[in-house]
Structure 1
Amino acid sequence: MMVAWMAGLLAVLAVSAGLTWGARAYALRRNLLDEPGERRSHGVATPRGGGIAIVLTLLLACVVAAVIWPKAGITLAVFALGLVLVAGIGWWDDHRPLPAVRRLLVHVVASALLAGLVWHATGNAWQALLALLFATSLINIWNFMDGINGIATTQAILAGIAFAMVLPPPYGLTGVVLGLTCLGFLPFNYPQARIFMGDVGSGALGYAIAALVCLVSVRTDIHWLLLLVPLSAFLVDAGFTLLSRILSGQRWMEPHTQHLYQRAVKGGASHTFVTGMYLVFGIFSAAVFNACTNLQPRWEAAVAVAWLIFATGLWLLLRKGMRN
C-alpha cells in the first residue's frame, strides 16, 4: 500500500512537470509572451500561462481522490468548480486582458463556493463569511506576488507542507499534492524562467491555498489567526503595499513594482537571491506555526499577532532602507 501511495505522489510530480513542458510549447507556438517593461521585473520576453499545468494536475488529483473516497465527491466537485472558474478567467486574461472588476466578480463567485463548503461543514455563517473574504483576497494576493522567478511557487510549497503536517490523515495529502504540483512546475520557472505561471496559475494557486486553509480550520482546532503565519510573507508585503498605494492616492488596481520583493530586484538583487530570502522567512514562519499548534487558543492567537507584528516591522525597516 505504501508503495502505491508513493507511486501516486510521484505521478503527481511527473504529470505537473510534463504538462508544464507542454504549456511552454503551446505558449511559444501562440506567441503568448510577457514582454519586459517598466512595470515588470524581468528583462527578456518569456512565455506565460505555465500555471495551467498546476491547475490540470490538481483537477486530475480531485478526480482520483473522488474515486478513492466517494463520500468526498461533492466537496471535491465544488472545490474543482471554483478552481476552474478562477483558472478560467485567468486563462482568458492571459490571452486577452480583461477589466479588473470582471475578474474580481468571478473570484467572488468561486470564493462563495468555498465559503459554502465551510458553512456546510461547520454551520457557522461568520466562519463562512471569513472564508469568502479570505479566499477572494488570497487569489489576488498570489497574483500580485507572482512577479519574480519562483517566489509564488516556493511559498505555496512551504504552505502545503506546513498545513499537511497538522491535518489528520488522509486530509494531509491535500497539502502534499499541492506542494508536488508546484514542485513539478518549479524547475521551469526557477532559477531561470523558461515560462511564467501567468494569471491562470497565480490566481488558481491562491484559491487552492485558501481552500487548504479552510480545510485546516474545519478539521482542526487551530486558531484562525495562527493559520495566517505560514502565509505571512505574502500577506504582509501585499497587504501593506496595497494600503500604502491607497493612502497615497495611487490607482491601486494598476500593475506596479512597489512590493518589497520588486523593489529589491529593481535595486539590483537577483531573482534567485530575493526568492531565497522569502523562502528563508517562509521556513521560519512555517516552523513557528508548526511549533505552536498545540497551544491553548489564546496563546496561538498571541503568537500569531506577535509574529505578524514582527513581520510588519521587518517589512517597514527593509522598505525604508530601499527607499533611502
Structure 2
Amino acid sequence: MEFLIVTILLFISILIYFKIADKYNIIDKPNHRSAHTQITLRGGGVIFPITFIIFCLINFKETIHEYWVFGLGLLLICVISFIDDIKTLSNRIRISVHFISVMLLLYFTHTFNLFPVEAWPIFFIMIIGTLNAYNFMDGINGMTGIYSLITLLTLFFINKDIIHFTHDNFIIYPILASLVFLFFNFRKKAKCFAGDVGSMGIGFWVIALITLLIMKTQDYKYILLLTVYGMEVVLTIVERLLLKENILKHTEDIYTSF
C-alpha cells in the first residue's frame, strides 16, 4: 500500500509540474545536435528530488539521522540545476554547488574516513564526470530512465540477496520515480525530458548508492554498473568528433541536455 500511495503522489506531482512548466514556458527547444525534433517540456526530472522528500516524510524516524546529509547534497544540486533549466547560470556558480554536493555525498558514504586525503580529488573528478555523463545523454527518449531503472533494480537485488548496504526503500523510491518518469518520457513523442534537475538528481542518487555499496564491500567491480551508460557517452562523443563538431564549444554544453 505504501508504494502504491507513493506512486500516486509522484503522478500527481509530475502532472502539477507539467502545468507549471507549460505556464512558464520551461521547454527544451531542439537544435542541430538534438536527438529530438519537437519542443518538449523540460524538467520532468523534478520528480526525483520530490521523491526524496516523500521518502523522508514517510520514513521520517528511520531516515532523518542517516540520510539528511545525502538529502542536502541532492536538493542543492537539484535546485541549482532547476534554476539552470529556467535561466542559464555561470559555470562558476554551477561547479561550486556541484563541488559542495559531491563533498556531502562523499561525507554521507564515509569515503573521507576510509581513504587518505590525496585520494579525494580522484573521487571528486570521477563523480562530477559521471554526473556530467548523465546530463550529457538527456534528450534521448527513455535513455536516462531505462538505464537508471536497470541499475537501481540491480542494486536492489544486490541489497536484498547479496549484501545489505542501505535501507530497501532508499532504492525502491527512486525505482518508482523512474517508472513514473518513463511513463511520460519513454514514448515516440516524449511528454517531457528530465532536464538538468532530473539527470543530475537521479545521477546523484545512483552514484550515492553505488558508492555506499563499494564502501561497504571494498569491491570496486561495482563501478561496472555504470559501464553501459559510460559507453553510450563515449560513443556519442566519438560520433560528434567524426562529424567534426566542437564538443567543447560553450562549456555549458556538458551541463545541459541535447
Greater RCO (Cα-Cα under 8 Å, separation 6 or more) = 2
Q: Which has the larger radius of gyration?
A: 1
Change (3 A) 1:156 1:21: same
- Give runs of aligned pairs for residues 110-129 of structure 1, distance below 5 A: 110-119=101-110, 122-125=113-116, 129=121
Give me the CA root mean square deviation. Answer: 2.7
Distance 1:123 1:103, change over 3 A: same
- Work out whether 1:165 is the aligned partner of 2:157: yes
Match of 1:278 in 2: none
CA deviation string 1:42-80 (max 9, x = no partner): 11111111111221112220343332x2xx533311111
**Whole-angstrom CA distance in 2 between matches of 1:20 and 1:92:** 17
Q: What is the match of residue 140 of structure 1?
A: 132
CA distance in 2: counterparts of 1:170 and 1:36, whole angstroms = 39
Could you list the per-position Cα deviations for residues 253-306 of structure 1 after superposition, in whole angstroms to 9, with x for gaps in the alignment? 3539xxxxx8xxxxxxxxxxxxxxxxxxxxxxxxxxxxxxxxxxxxxxxxxxxx
Counterpart-to-counterpart distance in 2, 1:17 and 1:143: 23
CA contact (8 A) 1:157 1:182 kept: yes
CA deviation map 1:219-252 (0-9, x unaligned): 334x21x212222122123246558879989352
Q: Does 1:107 align with 2:98?
A: yes
Distance 1:246 1:74, change over 3 A: farther
- Mapping of 1:3-82 within 5 angstroms? 7-67=1-61, 69=62, 72-82=63-73
Q: Is the 8 A contact 1:40 1:147 kept in 2?
A: yes
Q: Judging changes above 3 Å, is the alpha-carbon distance between structure 1 residues 243 and 107 closer, same or farther for their aligned structure 2 residues?
A: farther
Contact 1:118 1:128 in 2 (8 A): no
Normalization by structure 2: what TM-score? 0.84
* 1:255 equivalent among 244, 248, 253: 253
Counterpart of 2:227 (choices 232, 235, 240) is: 232
Tell me, what secondary structure is at the counterpart of 2:253? coil
Q: Confirm whether residue 218 of structure 1 aligns to residue 215 of structure 2.
A: yes
> Does the aligned pair in 2 maintain the 1:46–1:194 contact within 8 Å?
yes
Q: Contact conserved, 2:55 with 2:170, CA < 8 A, in 1?
A: no
Separation in structure 2 between the aligned mates of residue 233 and residue 10 of structure 1, nearest angstrom: 31
- Name the structure 2 match of 1:307: none
1:121: how far off?
8.0
In the other structure, the counterpart of 1:304 is none
Of the three residues 152, 177, 181, the one matched with 1:185 is: 181
For structure 2, the residue ranges without an aligned partner over 5 or more in a row are none
User: What CA distance in whole angstroms lies between the structure 1 residues aligned with 2:246 and 2:195?
Assistant: 24
Q: State the distance in 1 between where 2:234 and 2:95 align.
A: 17
Q: 1:132 to 1:169 in 2, by over 3 A?
A: closer
- For 2:10 and 2:229, how far apart are their aligned partners in 1? 24
**1:198 and 2:195 aligned:** yes
Pair 157,242 (structure 1): closer, same or farther in 2 beyond 3 Å? same
Kindly, what percent of the aligned residue pairs are identical?
Answer: 25
- How far has the Cα of 1:81 moved from its partner? 0.6
CA distance in 2, matches of 1:134, 1:50: 26
For 2:206, which of 200, 209, 214 is the aligned residue?
209
Once the two structures are superposed, what CA deviation does each residue of 1:18-57 show, in whole Å capped at 9, x if it has no partner? 2111111111111112122212221111111111122111
Tell me what 1:316 maps to.
Answer: none
- Aligned mates of 2:110, 2:53 — CA distance in 1: 23
TM-score by length of 1: 0.68
Q: What amino acid is aligned across from residue 118 of structure 1 in structure 2?
A: T
CA contact (8 A) 2:47 2:181 kept: yes
